[in-house]
Amino acid sequence: MDLPAEIKSSDTPCQLLLPRRFTDRVLKVRQALAPLRDVTLAHSIKTCPEPSLLKAAADLGMVAEAITQDELATAIEHGFSARNAMLNGPAKWWPERQSVTCDAFFADSVRELELVDEMLDNGFELDIRVVAFGSLPAGSRAASGCPPVTSHTARGGEASQEAHRTT
């Protein structure tokens, strides 16, 4: 196997970031998905917040997938536009901000949508294009193992003792 020079010259164990290889792989995935229409590739900020790869992902036209407000800010700081970002997961509204701009957010329950509505009534500004919605049966957990949204996860406030029922 022919290893890149960066690997041959490094001590082990070590972590190497290979932006060229990342770019090559994204381009291969994009080519493989070309027959499908309107496919958007996203980069998970949680999975790899490395600035050089964030910049590469933004330069490749990928969308930033953030699970917190701080991750969204990091993505924007490293080349993504707010319009090329989505919020996902139970901590997407944390830490609390006065306003949020992004392309999309994923809501996991009717209760989360109600909490967003309450936040808007209290002066929160939300500039989005898409709201994606998924709902779990009452008493079930998401694939992440997290219960449906609570007041704490939607607002970043004190933890609620009860998970709100989803419909």
What pTM did the predictor assign? 0.74
pLDDT at 163: 31
pLDDT, tens digit, 9 for 90 and up, residues 142-165: 665 555 554 434 444 333 323 333
pLDDT, tens digit, 9 for 90 and up, residues 116-150: 999 999 999 999 999 998 776 667 666 655 555 54
**CA gap 125, 99 in Å, rounded:** 4
Nearest to 101 by CA among 138, 76, 136: 76
Tell me the CB-side half-sphere exposure of residue 121, using CA atoms within 13 A.
6
- For residue 32, give the 3-state DSSP assignment: helix
Q: Which two tokens stand for residue 23?
A: 């770019």
Cβ contact 115:94 at 8 Å: no
Cβ contact 73:113 at 8 Å: no
